[in-house]
Structure 1
């Protein structure tokens, strides 16, 4: 194919790189454009879980040897979706599992299926294998234009790239989505999350609550009107030939609550502008009354890796638009969701696999885009519903009908 028949992927995250691997495997020309100057230029969360559907997608996208390398580069698989332990934040003792009825119709509850327990940086490094000549860094997408030959992507440095299909893999603030679907609605879940990591030192293992050192653990503080939930998981990498490419063992953690729980210590305007130092201090402040067996997690945190985020989501009923042969979207660019379903990466990889399959069957045309988008709406909408249910269960997240629409920049 000529260069004008390439697929242009904007964004080198998990979904974009997964899509690139699938296109490489099926010999469909493509190029990836990533805004950041390097692969892991900035922290973007640390641990991501990849469920059975995501693993199946990865196996379809990657060459068998690369998939085997990925599995061997990650910590051992997690035994299931649900937390292995539920602990009371104020006492440190085990507590009954939270319950708020069954999950939304047709959705699984606590799955007894293994999850890939992936470090985001390691995952992206493995997904980059073989793509070195197909990815350009430091390319800040500006806008696109449809032409008689296809589509042109324009970048902030003044450069342009021509292709047959433009794929938005540029995340929750997707500029492609803003141009392609200007009336698309993002909702503020009013959830705020402090993400962090703490090195798994011998001292930490000796002082942290022993029940918090194995598997996914939920710690809950329901002492105030708005509950505060902590999810943490130990990341112990396998001792094999790939160990040298992985970070030191650590504990991933996320402190989450409705925004009101954080506003006693800061203001709504300031909370999303906090530096890493300030976010780390806020984590220590709002857990100051917790049992002392949890405090080492925050006192020893890697401050440079602490950040606070506002959680945005779409509603489960994903809008229908007229499919285009020139533009489509994957991952957070089209279906951002609360992380409480632990399914963002899985869903992005499902998108990549579905799009590759449709392109292989139909070529690059409106039929391929339309079939992919129809499939995506169903499974992604179900997953968004599950994420809302999980947020309600953990810390009382608003129902989708009560959320306010976000004005996009």
Structure 2
């Protein structure tokens, strides 16, 4: 039985509600504190949830709710900007299959599952400070209110306030030289496989898309740009200007230019530069600990950001459940998670670098792809172990630690 009975979870996005649900199953009362004044629903941007992430959601009885708002993705089709096929990669032969979905749909499904399970989610609570005491932790919010509990968990994203409270010298996110934008077009790419994600190595940018059942095409664009651009800076540029720039960048690429021609400016979302977290030296201190993007955000190119966040939420709850000593629980949690997540972060960074390939590299890619698909790009070889990872909720953490 854990000595932790109550927890404050800072962040109501993806990791926060899952952490609270997992803690609740472990017998710990958890409340989620979200800085935004209300739930922010809307189109947002797209992401994928890998088989390992969906499997981890079973531990908190949320898998089905998420699958209902996603689309099964069984293969990835890679083309060049002229529409020429570079290669088709079948996904790892494992259930559940990867799903593609809108970030806001995922966050809403998780939030609703958490609330249905009795997890309180309080909005308008932006964390400004926290301090550990002899018998708990005190959190202070921007509206002047406070809250106390046995443990504070930072699920507050890549610009985590909790991370800087744990370690003021903690590293900042690493900026990669690609702008990330997304949106939806009122257009269905003709003859698109409804269970495929399409990746286009265009002449001046990287473009991805899939076709939705309602006839829209969900898309994202990665445009090379060496200037670091935050979300706030990206959103100082009006959406119609972003759309104009994208239409210029992809003017010679199919089907990107058709998709963008049918996209309204109101449906364009600017994220800013792609970022990932370098190795974070301190995952916890005293009665504060990190989960999700706050501690191990990979590049979106990894396809594992949300899945790793879900896994870490479940593993943290298991460690707290099985270790009555808090320092031992947090040490076990980091020991279980750090090697796996940092390996994925490295892979994501490498994958992102291929999106800036020049014309010669793209020609070589097309020539070498058939061999690559049989060897190092074979999904079973490159991603099989990563996506087949499963968490046994009922097993004691000590048994898993013995294998590390």
User: So what's the TM-score if we normalise by structure 2?
Assistant: 0.78
Following superposition, the deviation at residue 95 of structure 1 comes to 3.1
Does 2:4 match 1:9?
no
Give the structure 2 partner of residue 141 of structure 1.
Answer: 127
Q: Aligned runs of 1:3-402 on 2, under 5 Å?
A: 5-41=5-41, 44-45=44-45, 47-62=46-61, 66-71=62-67, 73-80=68-75, 83=76, 85-89=77-81, 91-96=82-87, 111-113=92-94, 114-129=97-112, 131-132=114-115, 134-185=120-171, 186-199=173-186, 204-205=187-188, 208-211=189-192, 215-222=196-203, 227-236=204-213, 250-260=216-226, 273-291=236-254, 293-308=255-270, 309-315=272-278, 318-321=279-282, 323-363=284-324, 365-396=326-357
CA distance in 1, matches of 2:324, 2:215: 44
Following superposition, the deviation at residue 284 of structure 1 comes to 1.4
1:149-191 C-alpha deviation (Å, 9 max, x unpaired): 2111110000000011111111111111112122222322122
Following superposition, the deviation at residue 373 of structure 1 comes to 1.5
- Identify if the C-alpha distance between structure 1 residues 95 and 56 changes in structure 2 by more than 3 Å, giving closer, same or farther: closer
CA distance in 2, matches of 1:333, 1:187: 13
- Identify if the C-alpha distance between structure 1 residues 359 and 396 changes in structure 2 by more than 3 Å, giving closer, same or farther: farther
Following superposition, the deviation at residue 51 of structure 1 comes to 1.3
Moved more, 360-369 or 112-121: 112-121
1:319-350 C-alpha deviation (Å, 9 max, x unpaired): 43384340111111112221111110011001
CA distance in 1, matches of 2:314, 2:8: 16
Give the structure 2 partner of residue 104 of structure 1.
Answer: none
- Identify if the C-alpha distance between structure 1 residues 305 and 327 changes in structure 2 by more than 3 Å, giving closer, same or farther: farther
Tell whether the 8 Å contact from 2:15 to 2:309 is kept in structure 1 after alignment. Answer: yes
1:110-131 C-alpha deviation (Å, 9 max, x unpaired): 6344212233222222222354
1:119-149 C-alpha deviation (Å, 9 max, x unpaired): 3222222222354361001111111112222
Give the structure 2 partner of residue 243 of structure 1.
Answer: none
Tell whether the 8 Å contact from 1:39 to 1:124 is kept in structure 2 after alignment. Answer: no
Tell whether the 8 Å contact from 1:325 to 1:364 is kept in structure 2 after alignment. Answer: no
- Identify if the C-alpha distance between structure 1 residues 22 and 348 changes in structure 2 by more than 3 Å, giving closer, same or farther: same
RMSD: 2.9
1:35-72 C-alpha deviation (Å, 9 max, x unpaired): 11222256542x3211122122111122xxx433332x
Secondary structure of 2:285's counterpart equals coil
Count of aligned residue pairs for this structure pair: 347
- Identify if the C-alpha distance between structure 1 residues 69 and 172 changes in structure 2 by more than 3 Å, giving closer, same or farther: closer
Secondary structure of 2:273's counterpart equals strand
- 5+ residue gaps in structure 2? 359-404
CA distance in 2, matches of 1:254, 1:67: 25
- Identify if the C-alpha distance between structure 1 residues 178 and 320 changes in structure 2 by more than 3 Å, giving closer, same or farther: closer
Tell whether the 8 Å contact from 2:184 to 2:267 is kept in structure 1 after alignment. Answer: yes
CA distance in 1, matches of 2:84, 2:289: 48
CA distance in 1, matches of 2:83, 2:283: 53
